[in-house]
């Protein structure tokens, strides 16, 4: 299937749902639905068509064609954004249940104030739906069936979603008497960008109280298996959680085993075999005689295997075993190493909080410096002007050093145009302390043009950071098609840092690309791209991703002291 067609199909389908949900004209909704399907199934790439060409697609009239053009040009459609803003995300989530139509979803929202699949499941359990007009016991059953179907689809969940659920559960289980240790393991501990399920480990003499507690926690919707060694549940959000209880003296072996990855474990078990040992979730044992030689801590297990303790984020069999054996594991970057955030927004553009509040919150995090980088004018929806950004600069200067001595950098997030041009001329760009530049439109240029475009932006003496370099959205939009090796080499050559955007649905660059970029000698910036105060805490996901890419503090410009950072930001300019 052609990628742009797929994107446009999803967008038009969403708009059709939004129209139906807001009680709009059903004929109009149906027209968009039809057009969506027609474009999805259209054999030629719609991004190469003009209005006239688009109108030749069955079911696509002038108004729909114009919206498609707007989307292909800017990456969004104003009227869709506006309609979307009227409806809580939860209601949009409700209509993803296969057996629940938009009209019923809206009724549930208006009459019962339900706005998530979880709340809906709870309401059905409390038999609250059957008395609503147009609903009944049969509808309740149908909807539950739909929720089950959706859950079976078994989508992987974002790291942040998994983390929030896991931390809540760990907190709850840790309170139970007899709990000697409790932690999450699996892909979540390895900070993989998505998780298939959540694996939780408890160390305790008796397992029953923990197994029982898990099945009764508020987020638990369904018990999949309830046993002595392992219990599995599904949460109201459809996330599976596996709980294992191990004996306290086998905590380390259990954590080592259930953290994985599978590929890493195969390597550690093979090393054990060569040493005449056997490694399992219960411990490291002598093959002959079965004497246990290590199990209490992970450190003990690794040491007995002749390895240093290996950070979970490296356990993917991507060279960490060899590096460990040679004593050359990297000292990976940690959250504590980060001295500041270099890509953030305020309510001057699409952020939610005023600058003073963002700055105060950043200072609370202990940062030495912080960059304010609102959107530049070519992202038309944000309505940025020269006057506004210059006024903001005055404001930034007036707050500089006022919060725990934190230094403020005034920057912007430029838009990389189709030919690699950015929003302002050189003289104007000169006034910024830092410029992030990102692709926000023209996602489908073709590889050669896309590569040339980005390399040209890197060559711009004022562009310091390439923002969310591939523009992928996890589970929603693939990254752009560009010659990434050329881009990474250009970044290394020009002194342009590659961003590791910490937004959980971006994590862009991702681990594999970081490894590749690092081999070109590029530098990185781990940024949150925060649009609100809570999002400043997304940093941890960016750091986890950076660790998975084997980065050390020296690779990451925002671990550096301000003086070194400022030198980097000057690139090779003479000014
Ligand atoms: P996920 O859940 O798909 O995101 O990925 P993981 O890595 O969390 O995988 P999961 O939940 O199936 O298992 C958790 C860990 O338990 C896994 O990383 C390694 C260990 N494990 C599970 N099954 C096996 C197995 O058959 N062999 C080995 N060596 N390890 C296993
Ligand atoms: Ca897992
Ligand atoms: Ca699992
Ligand atoms: Zn941004």
Atom of ligand 1 nearest to the CA of 266: 29
Candidate from 158, 163, 199 with most ligand 1 atoms within 8 A of CB, to mutate: 199
Q: Could you tell me the CA-to-CA distances from 119 to 111, 116, 147, 159, 260 in Å, in that order?
A: 13, 5, 12, 22, 34
Contact 430, 464 (CB under 8 A): no
Coil vs helix vs strand at 395: helix
Closest CA to 437 of 359, 491, 394, 386: 491
The reported pTM is: 0.76
Q: Which CATH class is domain 157-246?
A: alpha beta
Coil vs helix vs strand at 410: strand
CB atoms within 10 A of CB 384: 21
Coil vs helix vs strand at 545: helix
262 lines ligand 1 (CB under 6 A): yes
Candidate from 166, 225, 232, 262 with most ligand 1 atoms within 8 A of CB, to mutate: 262
Phi, psi at 195, each rounded to 5°: -125, 140
Q: How far apart are CA 36 and CA 77, in angstroms?
A: 14
- As annotated, the residues of the chain forming the CATH 3.30.460.10 domain(s) are 157-246
From the CA of 406, how far away is ligand 3's center (Å)? Answer: 43
From the CA of 233, how far away is ligand 2's center (Å)? Answer: 13
Secondary structure letter of residue 337 according to DSSP: G
Query: What tokens were used for 78?
Result: 């104003």
Q: Which CATH class is domain 4-153?
A: mainly alpha
**3-state SS track over 111-169:** HHCCCCHHHHHHHHHCCCCCCCCCCCHHHHHHHHHHHHHHHHCCCCEEHHHHHHHHHHH
Candidate from 156, 189, 194, 260 with most ligand 1 atoms within 8 A of CB, to mutate: 260
Closest CA to 196 of 157, 224, 169, 166: 157
Q: How far apart are CA 27 and CA 471, in angstroms?
A: 35
256 lines ligand 1 (CB under 6 A): no
Looking at domain 335-569, does it have CATH number 3.30.1360.70? Answer: no
- 3-state percent helix, strand, coil for the chain, nearest multiple of 5: 45, 15, 40
Superfamily of domain 251-326: DNA polymerase, thumb domain (3.30.210.10)
**pLDDT digits (tens), the chain, 575 positions:** 356 787 898 899 989 988 888 878 888 998 999 899 888 878 788 888 899 999 999 889 999 999 999 998 888 899 998 888 887 767 777 877 877 877 788 888 888 888 788 889 999 999 998 888 888 888 898 888 878 766 655 578 999 999 999 999 999 999 999 999 999 999 999 999 999 999 999 999 999 999 999 999 988 888 999 999 999 999 877 889 999 999 999 999 999 999 999 999 999 999 999 999 999 999 999 999 999 999 999 999 999 999 999 999 999 999 999 999 999 999 999 999 999 999 999 999 988 899 999 999 999 999 999 999 999 999 887 889 999 999 999 999 999 999 999 999 999 999 999 999 999 999 999 999 999 999 999 998 999 999 999 999 999 999 999 999 999 988 778 899 999 999 999 999 999 999 999 999 999 999 999 999 999 999 999 999 999 999 999 999 999 999 999 999 999 999 999 999 999 999 976 55
State the ligand closest to the CA atom of 436: 4
Contact 556, 525 (CB under 8 A): yes
Closest CA to 480 of 491, 467, 471: 471
Q: How far apart are CA 24 and CA 179, in angstroms?
A: 55
265 lines ligand 1 (CB under 6 A): yes
Atom of ligand 1 nearest to the CA of 188: 8
- As annotated, the residues of the chain forming the CATH 3.20.20.140 domain(s) are 335-569
Which residue's alpha carbon is nearest to atom 19 within ligand 1? 260
- As annotated, the residues of the chain forming the CATH 3.30.210.10 domain(s) are 251-326
Peptide bond preceding 538 in cis form (omega within 30 of 0): no
From the CA of 283, how far away is ligand 2's center (Å)? Answer: 20
Helix H or strand E encompassing 234: strand 230-235
Candidate from 186, 191, 272, 278 with most ligand 1 atoms within 8 A of CB, to mutate: 186
- Scan for tokens 């697609």, then name that residue: 57
Q: How far apart are CA 349 and CA 389, in angstroms?
A: 10
Query: What tokens were used for 343?
Result: 């890509």
Which residue's alpha carbon is nearest to atom 14 within ligand 1? 186
Which residue's alpha carbon is nearest to atom 3 within ligand 1? 196
Atom of ligand 1 nearest to the CA of 187: 8
State the ligand closest to the CA atom of 471: 4
């Amino acid at each position: 299937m052609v990628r742009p067609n797929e994107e446009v199909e999803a967008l038009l389908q969403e708009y059709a749902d939004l129209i139906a949900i807001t009680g709009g004209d059903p004929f109009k909704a149906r027209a968009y639905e039809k057009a969506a399907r027609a474009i999805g199934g259209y054999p030629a790439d719609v991004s190469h068509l003009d209005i006239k060409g688009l109108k030749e697609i069955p079911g696509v009239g002038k108004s729909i064609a114009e919206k498609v053009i707007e989307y292909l040009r800017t990456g969004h459609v104003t009227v869709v954004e506006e309609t979307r803003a009227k409806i809580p995300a939860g209601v949009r989530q409700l209509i993803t249940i296969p057996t629940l139509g938009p009209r019923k979803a809206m009724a549930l929202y208006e009459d019962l104030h339900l706005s998530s699949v979880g709340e809906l499941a709870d309401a059905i359990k409390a038999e609250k739906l059957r008395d609503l007009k147009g609903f009944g016991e049969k509808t309740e059953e149908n909807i539950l069936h739909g929720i089950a179907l959706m859950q079976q689809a078994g989508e992987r969940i974002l790291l942040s979603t998994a983390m929030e659920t896991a931390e809540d559960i760990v907190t709850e289980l840790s309170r139970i008497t007899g709990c000697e240790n409790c932690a999450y393991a699996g892909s979540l501990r390895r900070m993989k960008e998505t998780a298939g399920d959540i694996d939780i480990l408890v160390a305790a003499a008796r397992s029953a109280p923990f197994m029982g507690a898990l099945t009764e926690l508020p987020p638990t919707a369904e018990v999949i298996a309830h046993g002595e060694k392992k219990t599995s549940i599904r949460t109201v959000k459809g996330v599976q959680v596996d709980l294992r209880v191990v004996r306290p003296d086998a905590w380390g072996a259990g954590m080592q085993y259930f953290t994985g990855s599978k590929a890493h474990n195969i390597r550690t078990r093979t090393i054990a075999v060569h040493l005449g040992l056997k490694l399992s979730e219960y411990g490291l044992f002598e093959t002959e005689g079965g004497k246990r030689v290590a199990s209490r801590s992970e450190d003990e297990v690794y040491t007995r295997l002749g390895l240093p303790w290996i950070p979970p984020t490296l356990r993917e069999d991507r060279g960490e075993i060899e590096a460990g054996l040679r004593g050359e594991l990297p000292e990976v970057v940690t959250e504590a190493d980060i001295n500041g955030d270099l890509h953030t927004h305020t309510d001057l553009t699409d952020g939610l909080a005023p600058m003073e509040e963002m700055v105060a919150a950043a200072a609370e995090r202990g940062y030495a410096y912080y960059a304010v980088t609102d959107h530049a004018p070519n992202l038309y929806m944000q309505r940025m002007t020269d006057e506004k950004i210059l006024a903001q600069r005055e404001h930034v200067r007036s707050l500089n050093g006022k919060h725990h001595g934190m230094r403020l950098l005034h920057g912007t997030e430029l838009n990389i145009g189709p030919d690699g041009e950015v929003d302002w001329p050189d003289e104007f760009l000169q006034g910024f302390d830092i410029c992030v530049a990102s692709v926000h439109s023209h996602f489908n240029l073709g590889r050669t043009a896309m590569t040339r475009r980005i390399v040209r932006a890197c060559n711009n003496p004022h562009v310091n950071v390439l923002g969310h370099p591939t523009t992928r959205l996890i589970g929603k939009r693939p990254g752009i098609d560009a010659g990434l090796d050329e881009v990474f080499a250009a970044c290394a050559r020009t002194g342009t840092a590659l961003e590791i955007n910490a937004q959980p649905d971006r994590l862009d660059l991702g681990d594999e690309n970081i490894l590749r970029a690092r081999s070109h000698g590029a530098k990185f910036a781990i940024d949150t791209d925060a649009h609100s105060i809570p999002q400043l805490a997304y940093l941890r996901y960016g750091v986890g991703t950076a660790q998975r890419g084997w980065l050390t503090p020296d690779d990451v410009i925002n671990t550096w002291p301000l003086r070194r950072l400022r030198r980097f930001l000057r690139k090779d300019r003479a000014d």
